[in-house]
Amino acid sequence: SQTIHQWPATLVQPVGSPLSLECTVEGTSNPNLYWYRQAAGRGLQLLFYSVGIGQISSEVPQNLSASRPQDRQFILSSKKLLLSDSGFYLCAWSGRMYEQYFGPGTRLTVT
Amino acid sequence: AQSVAQPEDQVNVAEGNPLTVKCTYSVSGNPYLFWYVQYPNRGLQFLLKYITGDNLVKGSYGFEAEFNKSQTSFHLKKPSALVSDSALYFCAVRDATSGAGSYQLTFGKGTKLSVIP
């Protein structure tokens, strides 16, 4: 069966510091991968998606970036965090089925 | 463009009563429709989907949803609510006619369900 991991689970970072969040999927190959941010108000915002290694599509221009160095690894990064980057970050994957499956999330607080 | 509306921010229901969480959608072509549930500080869990076929779709934990093309709705239902059903529920849509590479789901803003003992 497939599983998706995210780490860290929680993170507190000062403004201006760098960020690296990691997501890995097990039990499938060539998944589509997604990064979402969920603000306190609950809505989901798609940040990036990837259909293959090195292929990244950005949905929202901002100070975040994503990379996919391996088939089942998806990384969200920032060089300098802003207060507005605080939120709950969710990674998801999809295969030949239509639905997406989500990881447990990372709670990021920028202070 | 595709969009989803969940008209109720919060739904309260007594334990044992039937529950309905509403969702309406807008797509150019035929819709693929999904429901997810989120417990506090957790990721979203997939409940059920409508792709094609029978308008009544059954999913996990006793939930079901009815696809109504004329009303562009996909309401989530359960015959008898449990306190443990209290959570945040999201409806999502994807246009079936979107081209290759358009894998995005559009999510509603979520409805908080509270089941009162």
Percentage of chain B beyond pLDDT 70 is: 95
- pLDDT of A95: 82
Contact yes or no for A43 and B34 at CB 8 A: no
Nearest Cβ partner for B43 among A49, A94, A104 = A104
In chain A, what residues touch B51 (CB-CB under 8 Å)? 98
B71 burial (CB, 10 Å; 0-12 / 13-18 / 19+) is exposed
Per-residue pLDDT, A98: 81
Q: Are B2 and B64 in contact (CB under 8 A)?
A: no
Give the integer Cα–Cα distance in Å for B88 and B27.
24
Are the Cβ atoms of B45 and A90 closer than 8 angstroms?
no
Q: Are B38 and B93 in contact (CB under 8 A)?
A: no
Q: What is the pLDDT of residue A89?
A: 97
For residue range A6-29, list pLDDT tens digits in order: 999 999 999 999 999 999 999 998
- The three-state secondary structure class of B18 is coil
Please answer yes or no on whether B34 and A99 come within 8 Å at the CB atom: yes
The Cα–Cα gap between A45 and A43 comes to 7
| Strands A87-94 and A106-110, bridge-based pairing | antiparallel
Segment A89-94 mean pLDDT: 95
CA–CA distance, A35 with A23 (Å, rounded to integer):
9
Instruction: DSSP letter for A27, please.
Output: S
pLDDT tens digits for B30-60?
899 999 999 998 999 999 999 988 999 999 9
Question: Distance of alpha carbon A69 from its chain centroid, rounded?
Answer: 14
pLDDT tens-digit series, residues A30-88: 999 999 999 876 789 899 999 999 999 888 868 999 999 999 999 999 999 999 999 99
pLDDT tens, residue by residue, B78-104: 999 999 999 999 999 988 776 555 567
pLDDT, mean over chain B? 93
Say how far apart CA B52 and CA B41 lie, in whole Å: 33
